[in-house]
Structure 1
Amino acid sequence: MNALEIAALGMQTDMDRLQSVSQNLANVATPGYKRAMHVHTPFGQVLDGAQPATSVEQVVDIRAGALKPTGRALDIAVDDGAFVELRSERGLLSYSRGGSFAMDAAGRVIGPDGSALQLLDGDFKLRGSENDVRIDARGEVFVGEERIGQLRLVRFDAPEKMRALGAGRYEAGAARITDDPARSTVRSGTLEGSNVQSTQEMVRLLETSRHFEAMQKVVQGYDEVLEKAIRKLGEV
């Protein structure tokens, strides 16, 4: 691997990092959002030929964000690594650590994108006002004193491999739902904030930008040396 290839690899790595940083900064205020990170093959393995130079994977930082009480029953946060399940009108499943949900005209409880929050037996639907709803710590849903169902909570074997869809929602990606039932605490009237730290991301942004500029100078220097060599050969 020559200097030009090394510089090109470094610039591609920086572009991947800049993509994840910009995504994180755009979602710093999104409830339940998990920080995106790019994991690259160790540079020594690339040089040794043990791994391809393009080996890169985006993973999710699953650490919890800060909890913020709201007092609204359909604001939900889930502790201990579980996710609530949502289903779109086309039947596509997605998952979230909670969020701010609302009733639509049909009485379904939906997320910001219109996907329906799921109970164990299907869509979460309400009759009447959301002010009558109560969700306990096990995810059981009551309207007044009537139990109408239980939130479908799922857990993944490798949640860091889930794929972000935006707005704090994820699809399974390379992760699998485990066979073990999710044993987590549901916190109604609470939102989990993003786990992004904006100051940390700004530092990453500056560091990555400077490294990219340094790699650009390497490429320019290599190009100048090559141009001089060609010119010398032409004079022979």
Structure 2
Amino acid sequence: MIKGFYSAVTAMVTNSNLQELLAHNAANIDTPGFKQVLGTVEQFWQTPVVFPPGNLQNLSQMTYNGLLGLGSQSAPQVTDFTQGAMQLTGNMFDVGIEGEGYFRIETPDGERYTRDGRFLRDAEGLLVTVDGHYVLDENGNQITMPNGDITIDQNGNVMADGAALATIDLVFFEDPQAALTPDQGNLFTTEETPIADGTVRMLQGYLEMSNVNPTQLMTQLVEVARSYEAAQKMVQNQDELLGKAISTLGRIG
């Protein structure tokens, strides 16, 4: 009975965590470069299930029958790094990444990485993100953007009036899943050294959109809500059964 209560309560907590994660994905469904976070569930407090032999004096012959989970919990979150759809914006400062790679960004807390190519020219004429962080070139320097029309080719070369100004830097990781950790906003951090090159092209006037699938997200939200309600009813049932058991024991005593 107590096991059933624990299982139901942990299921409620787990589904509540999944709801928060899905809500985070929903809030960023229109955020360029956003990578959805996937939630998984695992068993915890697993205990061995054994059956004693017919002769209780020989307990060394107990039969092992696997593990019994006493509840569920949220497993470590996983970021889905699959490519998002490319959307035409026509903004000359917007840059979409098609393929591998991450923009290198300078923030007050150090370098960060992102797929969000919504760039602007700030008051000082520097190329920045929508959050005001500096976009870096291949030498790790800030990029000055003069007034007038700017051209950015597929290799990230920035040109004005036919003159090369800088090259937007892209960094690559052999295994982004293992290398990158989500940070504030739409940024990632890493403790690994980027690899030399990758398969990529940059598209001026485009943005890579979020890789959240709206239909799939709605289905998941409904499933998690139903699972939470089922666990909630189970808690109520277990509570009623426990109350009846205590009442019965009181009368027997």
Q: TM-score, normalised by structure 1?
A: 0.86
The answer for the alignment partner of 2:165 in structure 1 is 148
SS of 1:200's partner is helix
The aligned counterpart of 1:28 is 29
Inter-CA distance 65–96: structure 2 relative to 1 (3 Å threshold): same
Q: Choose the corresponding residue for 2:135, options 117, 123, 130.
A: 117
Deviations 1:110-139 (A, max 9, x none): 11211111112234332532x422111111
Aligned equivalents of 1:9, 1:136: Cα separation in 2: 52
Residue 2 of structure 1: aligned partner: 3
Computed over aligned residues only, the root mean square deviation of the Cα atoms, in angstroms, reads 2.5
Map 1:35-184; keep pairs closer than 5 Å: 35-41=36-42, 43=43, 46=46, 48=67, 54=73, 56-88=75-107, 90-129=108-147, 131-161=148-178, 162-165=180-183, 167=185, 169-172=186-189, 176-184=192-200
Contact 1:67 1:192 (C-alpha < 8 Å) held by counterparts: yes
Q: What is the distance in 2 between the residues matched to 1:158 and 1:127?
A: 33
TM-aligned CA deviation for residue 60 of structure 1: 1.4
| Cα contact 2:183–2:189 (8 A) shared by 1 | no
In structure 2, how many angstroms separate the alpha carbons of the residues matched to 1:146 and 1:23?
A: 43
Q: Is the alpha carbon distance of 1:23 and 1:92 closer, same or farther for their aligned partners in structure 2, counting shifts above 3 Å? A: same
Alignment check: 8 A CA contact 1:157 1:176 kept: no
For 1:4-27, what per-residue CA distance to the aligned partner results, in whole angstroms no more than 9, with x for missing partners? 222222222212211121011111
Gaps of at least 5 residues in structure 2 are 48-66
- Matches of 1:54 and 1:224 in 2, distance apart? 24
Q: Distance in 2 between matches of 1:123 and 1:6?
A: 54
What is the deviation of 1:234? 1.9
| Percent of aligned pairs sharing the same letter | 28
SS of corresponding position for 2:240 = helix
State the AA in 2 paired with 1:187: L
Give the TM-score normalised by structure 2.
Answer: 0.81
Specify whether residues 210 and 54 from structure 1 end up closer, same or farther in structure 2 by C-alpha distance, changes over 3 A only.
closer
Q: Structure 1 residue aligned with 2:238, among 219, 222, 231?
A: 222
Q: Distance in 2 between matches of 1:53 and 1:21?
A: 18
Q: 1:39 to 1:141 in 2, by over 3 A?
A: same
Q: Give, in angstroms, the shift of residue 166 of structure 1.
A: 5.5
Report if aligned partners of 1:71, 1:189 keep a CA contact under 8 Å in 2. yes
Q: CA deviation at 1:180?
A: 2.8
